[in-house]
Structure 1
């Protein structure tokens, strides 16, 4: 069987833009259920300023409350040196930094150019090498930008190469506004794979236009074996009107099982975790697979 690693981003990317307060206990409850379903890589929280992302203000409490389970990893987002230091002090063993492939998005999102954002990461990579901490690189807007429109694959490849050179063990390619199709995703992957080994690439697709699972499939056929996804389709980009969030982990898992890939995740338990957090948030799951399986159970 082909092994595929799923990075569950629901507790961080999925919840960070929630308007309602999500308690620390609820976040930890979700993480516990994800781990019980067999998810081994769970993005737990983000060490950003509470001023900018108030939903992640409890990052230290989250880290302190994480279930200590063998083989389960809890990467966190650390966009700057202050965030990195806080993450390491809280016990993080893996951090993620993020850059954009679009100059306009970089300026509007983090108030600096792409080059300036990457320069800010240099001390993080230097410190991580000394601390024995792994660093993952995220790139947003790899297909389209809400301000510029289509993004050139060569621009994505250049940013990916720079993050690899700095020391990223893996580069996650994010279709932030979810405009990608298999054709545009494959063009982007071809450009990036010319500069970064395919084995160090991950797909991070949003489902705004309903193409999330199709883009995972195209990327799998291309050779990617790592995918980011969010339980119940939680999340979304605040810059993309009508965005429905990250591709749902349940839907990605159902696809991968159909392809004969091995993830180590139990689909039924995963559906239960998604139903639990959806109920806690007071809205239906965005996962089509979960809706189908829950309806089947209820019949």
Structure 2
């Protein structure tokens, strides 16, 4: 991940930061509910924002039946995410996604297929539950980095959040960050399993204090994944952390963002809450795969005036 920003160095654990976390839940829900109806993009503006969304997708395959062939096809799609004639028509012939995200076992395949043209992200630390022995979780990070992954998506121990053991969450996350070395770390909070928005805010702050480069909503395997209320809380945590530390931390909604119109709403929220600097791949990613197909359909309609059937834009 190339960036002109200093990497988040973290902060010493401070329980007062956690004690100071506040979330006005009714106001958060109200703002999230009204946002989609209040933001609308049309024609060239919509196409430009959708192209920007493509550049910030972590194109992902995390299935038990992944094969080297499937991963190579995914990498080819990441490098050429939209039909060449459509990209030429909108003036972006070299557009790619932000990265490719796979299990550790498939990291060497993705590294070989991408040839350094895009980052390879690996899900590690006993993904998705994060309940394997801690030494094995650290070893998995180190092995993924050694195999060529330049981004590591770790999962936190949800029990530390649910029991209020914030020091343990900080210590574990800091050790994972150290194991990543030069690879950037995205901390997956599994927000659908944290119980309250206040817990989401506190967990976000702890992970950033421990040195996370990104905070991420979900594994994509929970019953509830990325939502607008959770995203609003996490973005405001990022803003509060920057004010306290001076470091900008990235944000990644994952799971549940599958339609182009939904991606536009997330980008509008991001611009309003954090500003234009977050509208780049080094500070924002969508954890998605099906989203790309719908965006490609919308771009075809923009260029030709006709909607395409979904299977013409299949990923695999």
Alignment TM-score, normalising by the size of structure 1: 0.55
Take 2:209 and 2:52, find their aligned partners in 1: how far apart are those partners? Answer: 36
Q: Which position in structure 2 is the counterpart of 1:212? A: 230
Greater relative contact order (CA < 8 Å, ≥ 6 in sequence) = 2
Q: Which position in structure 2 is the counterpart of 1:242? A: none
Take 1:138 and 1:151, find their aligned partners in 2: how far apart are those partners? Answer: 23
Q: Which position in structure 2 is the counterpart of 1:45? A: 60
Take 2:270 and 2:142, find their aligned partners in 1: how far apart are those partners? Answer: 36
Q: Which position in structure 1 is the counterpart of 2:201? A: 186
Give the total of aligned pairs. 217
Deviations 1:66-115 (A, max 9, x none): 328657454223432x422111111153222334599x9334xxxx4232
Residue 178 (structure 2) pairs with residue 160 (structure 1): no
Q: Which position in structure 2 is the counterpart of 1:64? A: 76
Larger fraction in helix: 2
Take 2:114 and 2:214, find their aligned partners in 1: how far apart are those partners? Answer: 24
Deviation at 1:64, TM superposition (A): 2.4
Structure 2 segments unaligned to the other structure (5+ residues):
6-46, 82-92, 219-223, 243-247, 281-291, 300-308, 312-316
Deviation at 1:35, TM superposition (A): 6.6
Deviations 1:196-224 (A, max 9, x none): 1xxx5212125657632332332232235
Take 2:126 and 2:199, find their aligned partners in 1: how far apart are those partners? Answer: 15
Take 1:274 and 1:139, find their aligned partners in 2: how far apart are those partners? Answer: 30
Larger fraction in strand: 1
Deviation at 1:256, TM superposition (A): 2.2
Higher alpha-carbon Rg: 2
Q: Aligned with 2:57: secondary structure?
A: coil
Distance 1:141 1:211, change over 3 A: farther
Take 2:310 and 2:114, find their aligned partners in 1: how far apart are those partners? Answer: 28
Distance 1:175 1:260, change over 3 A: closer
Alignment TM-score, normalising by the size of structure 2: 0.52
Q: Answer yes or no: is the 8 Å Cα contact 2:208–2:215 preserved in 1.
A: no
CA RMSD of aligned residues (A): 4.5
Structure 1 segments unaligned to the other structure (5+ residues):
5-31, 129-133, 236-247, 282-299
Distance 1:218 1:53, change over 3 A: farther
Residue 245 (structure 2) pairs with residue 227 (structure 1): no
Mapping 1:137-148, distance limit 5 Å: 137-141=152-156, 143=158
Take 2:67 and 2:108, find their aligned partners in 1: how far apart are those partners? Answer: 20
Take 2:191 and 2:296, find their aligned partners in 1: how far apart are those partners? Answer: 22
Q: Answer yes or no: is the 8 Å Cα contact 2:125–2:138 preserved in 1.
A: no
Q: Answer yes or no: is the 8 Å Cα contact 1:231–1:250 preserved in 2.
A: no
